[in-house]
């Protein structure tokens, strides 16, 4: 298992290019299964999760060609297998997103239940509720969700009980080939949903209202091929900004979109960062200052994203003052706290959803272990700010979501080395 060795204490300085968004590319790749013609997706990030999704599309019988620039061409004309096996879904929850497309296009499908994961139970009841409302017969048998459609899905009004990004995406995909009009209420408003809606429309779908809590989808007979470029990764962007802020650094991030990061940029400014936003770049300058503590409460978009919570716990760990961090989206998303405390942080858990962080002057290197994707990067942030050499174990979590992390950090002047265990 690979580890990351980080020698901390140097402010991050320099510029780098932000990758395409993992959380947009995954549903978009799942949606390629809806098209009757080949579809080309550009700006997909080079990540394990993307490779897993490409593997799943291949396993379903789609032809997938990948070029060296991570342009993915998917030809889903002749799907041969409508079962997404446990082995694939268990390694990546987003595999469940193929269910909506398969039901709409092929009339039946079987996808393994994703099961629990490190950050909580994460059910899929809202996805199932949506498919059932569109007329699919759904049963759960032997750990698989099995869906069948008589004739075709039909448009319906779906009111989600919780705001769910994946649920909104899955049902949006299914509804785009349904007969009639679907309205999704209490839909998630995340920018990745906007990207998916734009992609569906580029294939000939009629989606409107994406980016608001009410999405309308007028079903069409079929979807055609197109070329589409995935949006920039707002979580990767925010993460490198936090890393720069925690080290008192100065970075410019290119090929990104500052308008997607309102809540995160507000918190970074509150922490004392000078931030400039251009059309496709963001510059953050901490001018060597120590950050000030900032309270954070996670919320669905446009609120503060849960995927940035762990990084802000790390930032607060070395900030001046005390901060309260409240997690409202996932019930078990503080596993990084214990590891950060190993680096000398002073963080207490009030309950399962609240952490109190008392900033310390200095963090000190220690061996630590990554527990989930975003939590792992909080350890990187802390290690970059800490004195000495920190060894981070189980970094396969990081590789799921951060493209060429050591290259990118080195570009910003960090001392980082991947240690491959035999």
Of 80-88, 160-168, 239-247, 314-322: span binding ligand UD1 (CB under 6 A): 160-168
CB 315 within 8 Å of CB 245: yes
Choice from 126, 176, 311, 378 touching ligand UD1 (CB under 6 A):
126
Residue nearest to ligand UD1 (CB): 166
**Residue of 59, 71, 117, 226 with catalytic role:** 117
Going by C-alpha positions, the residue among 115, 120, 117, 160 that lies closest to residue 353 is: 120
For ligand UD1, the closer of residues 11 and 130 by Cβ is: 130
Q: Tell whether residue 124 is a contact of ligand UD1 (CB under 6 A).
A: yes
- Sequence-distant (≥ 6) Cβ neighbours of residue 251 within 8 angstroms: 12, 13, 14, 15, 16, 240, 241, 244, 283, 284, 412
Q: Tell whether residue 329 is a contact of ligand UD1 (CB under 6 A).
A: yes
The CA distance from 261 to 279, in Å, is 13
Q: Tell whether residue 127 is a contact of ligand UD1 (CB under 6 A).
A: yes
Of 1-9, 10-18, 117-125, 256-264: span binding ligand UD1 (CB under 6 A): 117-125
Q: Tell whether residue 378 is a contact of ligand UD1 (CB under 6 A).
A: no
DSSP 279-291: SSEEEEE-TTPPP
How many residues bind ligand UD1, per CB under 6 A? 22
Q: Which ranges constitute the DSSP H helices of 32-164?
A: 48-59, 86-91, 98-106, 125-133
For ligand UD1, the closer of residues 204 and 211 by Cβ is: 211
Q: Tell whether residue 203 is a contact of ligand UD1 (CB under 6 A).
A: no
Interaction mask 207-246, ligand UD1, x per CB under 6 A: ----------------------------------------
Q: Tell whether residue 196 is a contact of ligand UD1 (CB under 6 A).
A: no
Burial class (CB in 10 A: 0-12, 13-18, 19+), 83: middle
The CA distance from 103 to 146, in Å, is 10
Q: Tell whether residue 307 is a contact of ligand UD1 (CB under 6 A).
A: yes
Radius of gyration of the chain (CA): 21
Q: Which two tokens stand for residue 256?
A: 């990104």
Q: Tell whether residue 120 is a contact of ligand UD1 (CB under 6 A).
A: yes
Choice from 90, 122, 179, 289 touching ligand UD1 (CB under 6 A):
122
Of 119-127, 135-143, 339-347, 360-368: span binding ligand UD1 (CB under 6 A): 119-127
Going by C-alpha positions, the residue among 18, 370, 31 that lies closest to residue 210 is: 31
Choice from 23, 101, 198, 378 touching ligand UD1 (CB under 6 A):
23
Q: Tell whether residue 167 is a contact of ligand UD1 (CB under 6 A).
A: yes
Burial class (CB in 10 A: 0-12, 13-18, 19+), 185: exposed
φ/ψ of 201, rounded to 5, equals -65, -35
Active site residue 71: no
Per DSSP, the three-state class of 401 is coil
At closest approach, how far in Å is the CB of 150 from ligand UD1? Answer: 24
Choice from 61, 85, 107, 123 touching ligand UD1 (CB under 6 A):
123
Choice from 247, 306, 309, 311 touching ligand UD1 (CB under 6 A):
306
Which is it for strands 144-149 and 108-112: parallel, antiparallel or unpaired?
antiparallel
Going by C-alpha positions, the residue among 187, 72, 84, 75 that lies closest to residue 127 is: 187
Burial class (CB in 10 A: 0-12, 13-18, 19+), 33: buried
Interaction mask 62-101, ligand UD1, x per CB under 6 A: -------------------------------xx-------
Residues noted as catalytic = 117
Residues that bind ligand UD1 (CB under 6 A): 23, 26, 93-94, 120, 122-127, 162, 164-167, 188, 192, 306-307, 329-330
């Amino acid at each position: 298992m690979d580890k990351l060795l980080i020698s901390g204490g140097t402010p991050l300085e320099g510029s780098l290019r932000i990758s395409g968004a993992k959380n947009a590319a995954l549903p978009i790749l799942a949606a390629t299964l809806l098209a009757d013609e080949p579809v080309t997706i550009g700006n997909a990030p080079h990540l394990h999760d993307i490779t897993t999704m490409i593997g799943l599309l291949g396993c379903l019988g789609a032809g997938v060609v990948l070029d060296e620039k991570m342009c993915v061409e998917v030809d889903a004309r002749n799907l041969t297998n409508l079962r997404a096996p446990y082995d694939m879904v268990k390694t990546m929850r987003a595999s469940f997103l193929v269910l909506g497309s398969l039901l709409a296009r092929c009339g039946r499908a079987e996808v393994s239940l994703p099961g629990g994961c490190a950050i909580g139970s994460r059910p899929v009841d809202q996805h199932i509720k949506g498919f059932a409302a569109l007329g699919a017969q759904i049963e759960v048998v032997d750990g698989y969700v099995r869906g069948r459609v008589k004739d075709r899905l039909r448009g319906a009004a779906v009111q989600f009980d919780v705001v769910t990004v994946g649920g909104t995406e899955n049902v949006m995909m299914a509804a785009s080939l349904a007969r009639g009009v679907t309205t999704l209420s209490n839909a998630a408003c995340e920018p990745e949903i906007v990207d998916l809606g734009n992609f569906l429309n580029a294939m000939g779908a009629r989606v409107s209202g994406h980016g608001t809590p009410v999405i309308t989808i007028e079903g069409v007979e079929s979807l055609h091929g197109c070329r589409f470029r995935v949006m920039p990764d707002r979580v990767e962007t925010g993460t490198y900004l936090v890393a720069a802020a925690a080290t008192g650094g100065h970075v410019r991030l290119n090929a990104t979109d500052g308008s997607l990061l309102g809540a995160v940029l507000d918190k970074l400014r509150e922490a004392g960062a000078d931030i400039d936003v251009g059309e496709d770049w963001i510059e953050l300058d901490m001018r060597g200052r120590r950050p000030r503590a900032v309270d954070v409460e996670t919320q669905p978009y446009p609120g503060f994203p849960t995927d940035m919570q762990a990084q802000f716990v790390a930032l607060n760990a070395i900030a001046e003052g005390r901060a309260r961090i409240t997690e409202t989206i996932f019930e078990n998303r503080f596993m990084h706290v214990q590891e950060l405390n190993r680096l000398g942080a002073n963080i207490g858990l009030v309950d399962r959803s609240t952490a109190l962080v008392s900033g310390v002057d200095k963090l000190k290197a220690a061996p630590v272990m990554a527990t989930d994707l975003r939590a792992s990067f909080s350890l990187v942030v802390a290690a970059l700010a800490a004195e000495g050499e920190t060894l981070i174990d189980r970094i396969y979590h990081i590789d799921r979501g951060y493209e060429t992390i050591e290259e990118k950090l080195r570009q910003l002047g960090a001392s980082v080395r991947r240690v491959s265990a035999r």
